[in-house]
Amino acid sequence: MDDVFLQSLLLADSTLRLATPLVLAALAGLFAERSGIADIGLEGKMLGAAFAAAATAAVTGSAWLGLGTGIVVGILLALLHGFACITHKGDQIVSGIAINIAVAGLAPTLADAWFGRAGNTPLLQGDARFAPISLPLAETLRDVPILGPIYAVLISGHNVLVYVMLAAVPLAWWVLYRTRFGLRLRAVGENPAAVDTAGISVEALRYRALLGTGILCGIAGAYLSTAHNASFIRDMTAGKGYLALAALIFAKWRPVPTLFACLLFAFTDALQVRLQGVVLPGIGEVPTQAIQALPYVLTVLLLAGFVGRAVAPAAIGKPYDKERPHRV
Amino acid sequence: MTPLPRWVDVGLLPILNLTAAMLVTGLIVLILGENPVRALQFLIYGAFGYGEAIGYTLYYATSFIFTGLAFAVAYHAALFNIGAEGQAYLGGLGVGLVCLALDAYLPFVLILPVALLAAAAFGAFWGAVPGWLQAHRGAHIVITTIMFNFIAAAVMTYLLVNVLIEPGQANPETRDFAANATLPQLHEIARWLGLPTYRSPLNLAFVLALGACFLVWLFLWKTRLGYALRVTGQSQDAALYAGIDPWRVVVLAMALSGALAGMMALNEIMGAQGRLLLGFTGGFGFVGIAVALMGRNHPLGIVFAAVLFGALYQGGSELAFEMPAISRDMVVVIQGLVILFAGALENMFRPTLARVFARRAEAV
């Protein structure tokens, strides 16, 4: 019994760790998409930030400086996306693909040239990496039944970015639903012409939304390379940006459900590692690939309206033209 | 805004976009501490400098023609198919199953059409499902095709690791196909004709790709159905008003797009590898996006753009060998920049050019 309890705690613990980059990236996508900018470039922004953070941390020995550069790179890539699809009214999907592909090439190229390690950065040690934080009294309380292990294993012992992620969800909710900026942001994603008529700049509002996207992608990337892992590895995002996008859609573009969608997807990931080669009674051996593909299959089913219905922000994907505000 | 003269639209503008991409690339090469002009020389020599190089360039171009056409056909129906990667992967499954099942029984001339149909059918299926979901369930094609790429990867990994793997093998690969289930290499054909031969994986699929270009052109601009597809792409309402069923067209366009992507597997699986293996698509599905955007979604433009990207891939390996500071990944950077400048930022030069040519038109 105790063993089952501890096992499920460990499973929950690794779910939380795996969910962190997904939640941060999905919230990043939330800001962009609620403002009417489709963003399939989360993957590239995260990867770019992951490289920048690991490279800076490797050179300076400071994980915090790494986080800073990661955020700067995230913002720059988000602004590039804005430059293409807000300023020049380019196609948002094409711009996202361009960023994903360019970064997938550029990061290993620079890693190769600067560190000579076949597309990776050197291993980070000591302060160059975000270490687990032990919350107060975690060890003392460990022996308290039920709650003690929950506190010690699940709540305590994560690095600071996991807690940042947990704080980011209510913060995103508050910004989106309780501030003037959030109200305008949601309005510009549904009906930019109305926002324009109210005398508010659609372009400036969308650029500010993308700023939020860049910051969150930056943190997500830094988490991957300087907290969850100890270096930048080629293609280390491995589709997490797309998975985050799927979670965002799954959550119907709302912050709190986004957290749960990411936890669900991360749970399938944590589970498939543990289920490798395990024979379940009555089912037999579950192919790990089936569990891996589950989040993608669920998203397709949801989009097709077979499980619930996901309705995107109305103005998503359409560049806003001041002179022809009602063009569809 | 007055429309641009045709030569500007299909000639000058793509060249400007490409130049911008190359300038940024040159800047990156400078940052890496190498000489961009010498890098370009290595690249061009590596792509066209000798017989083998040209063979490799055209071999890469073959795959890019298929995936470029796949993107273009969907694009003419205003559909954004970024699932060529998954469709090509499934196409490979079709080719692989046919070759493994029939290579002991049938001669090459019979295997080829069956494999071709299988590649097209498997790819078409993987494209048509997102098409159907878009047409009848309103599921956005961009997201579903991304998801289908991942699902395809999971399906193929499962099949290759658990089912199709050659017994006793450590790598997840099938057994080699017999010689009658592989496409003839062009250097073998050249030897047979008494021409000079250069060893490269360039094979019969190149000819098939050129044929596909012609057929796509014929379909899009000379048939009723192709017209219906383009009308639907311009305006679903107009299509509906003209008696075209736009939902059927969407499914058809995605099926056709998937079929073209699937045929890429002929080049890789039947032409170059001679067996089915993991990850053979190597991101070529995404190269198709750059190729189609660069080639203005016209089959002829796609051939030129595919050769250009073939040259980048082949010349890029030569470049990485000559200049250790530059890795092969540089080619992927250029690919991303081309998509950025020729696709996302295509409106950057256009208004300026339009002003210039409008002024000239007034002056005349």
Contacts of A121 by beta carbon, 8 Å cutoff, 6+ apart: A51, A54, A55, A58, A111, A115, A225, A231, A232
Residues of chain A positioned with their CB less than 8 A from the CB of B21: none
Asked whether the beta carbons of residue A85 and residue B344 sit closer than 8 angstroms, the reply is: yes
Query: Residue A286: pLDDT band by 50, 70, 90 thresholds?
Result: confident
| Minimum CA–CA partner of B152 in chain A | A293
Q: Which of B138, B143, B327 sits opposite A109 (nearest CB)?
A: B327
Rounded CA-CA distance B232/B236 in Å is 5
Pick the residue from chain A with its C-alpha nearest to B329.
A105
Determine the pLDDT at residue A328: 46
Q: Which residues of chain A neighbour B150 with C-beta distances below 8 Å?
A: 239, 242, 293, 296
Residues of chain B with pLDDT below 50 are none
Residues from chain A that touch B286, judged by Cβ atoms under 8 A, are: 97, 101
Helical segments of chain B, H only? 6-7, 13-31, 36-48, 51-76, 84-102, 108-137, 141-158, 186-193, 205-222, 224-234, 236-241, 246-265, 284-294, 299-322, 329-338, 346-363
pLDDT digits (tens, 9 = 90+) for B248-301: 999 999 999 999 999 999 999 999 888 999 989 988 999 999 899 888 899 999
**Distance from C-alpha of A318 to C-alpha of A131, rounded to nearest angstrom:** 43
Query: Measured between alpha carbons, how far is B124 from B263 in angstroms, rounded to an integer?
Result: 10
Chain A residue closest in CA terms to B131: A304
CB-based contacts of A308: which residues, under 8 Å, 6+ apart? A252, A302
Q: Do B343 and A95 touch (CB under 8 A)?
A: yes
ipTM of this predicted complex? 0.88
Q: What pLDDT, on a 0 to 100 scale, did the predictor assign at position A288?
A: 81
- On the question of pLDDT at A175 being above 90, the answer is yes
On whether any CB of chain B is under 8 Å from the CB of A94, the answer is yes
Mean pLDDT value of segment A84-109? 91
Q: Over 80: is that where the pLDDT of A169 sits?
A: yes
Range of the domain at A54: 2-303
Which residue's structure tokens are 């699937």? B262
Residues 6+ apart with CB under 8 A from A304: B133, B137, B138, B139, B144
pLDDT band at A308 (very low <50, low <70, confident <90, very high): low
For residues B185 and B202, what is the distance between their CA atoms, to the nearest angstrom? 6
The string of pLDDT tens digits covering residues A223-272 is 999 999 889 998 899 889 999 998 998 888 999 999 999 999 899 888 87
> Which stretch of A154-168, A274-288, B77-91, B284-298 has the lowest confidence by average pLDDT?
A274-288
Which chain A residues have a beta carbon less than 8 Å from that of B345? 83-84, 88, 90, 95
pLDDT at A214 over 60: yes
Chain-chain contact of A95 with B344 (C-beta, under 8 angstroms) = yes
| Binary contact (B146, A287; C-beta < 8 A) | no
The alpha carbon of residue B347 and the mean position of all alpha carbons in its chain are separated, in whole angstroms, by: 24
Q: What chain A residue is nearest to B336 in terms of C-alpha separation?
A: A102
Measured between beta carbons, the chain B residues lying within 8 angstroms of A306 are: 137
Q: Bridge-partner residues for B173, per DSSP?
A: B277
Under an 8 A CB cutoff, do A299 and B147 touch?
yes
**Smallest Cα–Cα separation from B59: which of B304, B307, B338, B261?**
B307
Partners of A280 in the β-ladder: A284
B330/A105 CB distance under 8 A: yes
- Residue A312 belongs to a domain: no
Asked if the Cβ–Cβ distance from A98 to B333 is below 8 Å, we say: no
Residue A118 lies in a domain: yes
C-alpha angle B275-B280-B286 in degrees, rounded to nearest 5: 150
State pTM to two decimals: 0.89
Q: DSSP readout, A186-203?
A: HHHHH-HHHHHHTT--HH
Residue of chain B minimizing CA distance to A310? B139
Of A83, A102, A119, the CB nearest to B337: A102
8 Å CB contact between A119 and A112: yes
**CA atoms of B64 and B84, how far apart (whole Å):** 11
Residues of B in contact with A93 (CB under 8 A): 80, 82, 142
Q: Taking all residues of chain A, what is their mean pLDDT, rounded to a whole number?
A: 88
Does A99 or B178 have the greater pLDDT score? A99
- Cα separation, B314 vs B49, in Å, equals 11
Residue A151 has pLDDT above 90, yes or no: no
For residues B187 and B196, give the distance between their C-alpha atoms in angstroms, rounded to a whole number: 8
Residue A121 has pLDDT above 90, yes or no: no
Is A314 within a domain? no
Burial of A252 (0-12, 13-18, 19+ CB in 10 A): middle
How far apart are the C-alpha atoms of B338 and B41, rounded to whole Å? 20
Other beta carbons within 10 angstroms of residue A272's beta carbon come to 18
Q: Inform me whether the C-beta atom of residue A293 falls under 8 Å from chain B C-beta atoms.
A: yes
* Binary contact (A303, B340; C-beta < 8 A): no
- A189-201 tens-digit pLDDT: 999 999 999 999 9
The token pair that represents A198 in the structure block: 């109210």
The domain spans of chain B are 78-280
Distance from CA of B194 to the nearest CA of A (A): 42
Q: Find the distance separating the first CA and the last CA of chain A, reported in whole Å.
A: 60
Please tell me whether residue A284 adopts helix, strand or coil conformation. Answer: strand
Asked if B127 contacts B304 with a C-beta cutoff of 8 angstroms, the reply is no
Determine the 3-state secondary structure of B185 from DSSP. Answer: strand
Most B-contacting residue of A248, A296, A316, A327 (CB-CB within 10 A), to test interface: A296
Q: Which of chain B's residues have a Cβ under 8 Å away from the Cβ of A37?
A: none
Q: Are residues B137 and A305, on separate chains, in Cβ contact within 8 Å?
A: yes
Quick check: A301 pLDDT over 50? Answer: yes
Residue of chain A whose Cα is closest to the Cα of B33: A113
A219 CB neighbour count, 10 Å cutoff: 28
At residue A44, the pLDDT reads 96
Rounded-to-integer distance, Cα B318 and Cα B327, Å: 10
- Nearest alpha carbon to residue B124 among B6, B223, B21, B255: B255
Backbone angles phi, psi at B314, to 5 degrees: -70, -50
Q: What is the DSSP letter of B34?
A: S
- The total of structural domains in chain A comes to 1
Task: With CB atoms and an 8 Å threshold, state whether A303 touches B157.
Answer: no
Sign of CA dihedral A197, A199, A200, A203: positive
Residue A305 Rama label (left phi>0; alpha psi -120 to 50; beta): left
- Flag whether residue A242 sits within 8 Å of chain B, measured between CB atoms: yes
**Contact residues, A window 17-76, toward B, CB-based 8 Å cutoff:** 38, 40
Give yes or no for a contact between A132 and A159, defined as CB atoms under 8 angstroms apart: yes
Q: Do A109 and B330 touch (CB under 8 A)?
A: yes
Torsion angle, alpha carbons of B8, B12, B14, B20, to 10: -140
Six-digit token string for A90: 């380019």
pLDDT, one tens digit per residue, over A11-52 is 898 999 999 999 999 999 999 999 999 999 999 999 999 999
Task: Pick A304's closest partner by Cβ from B28, B139, B344.
Answer: B139
Whichever domain contains A261, its CATH number is 1.10.3470
What's the longest Cα–Cα distance across chain A?
68
Q: Which amino acid is at A176?
A: L
Nearest residue on chain A to B346, judged by CA atoms?
A: A90
Q: Name every chain B residue with its beta carbon within 8 A of the beta carbon of A83.
A: 345
Question: Which of B147, B150, B333 comes nearest A109 by C-beta?
Answer: B333
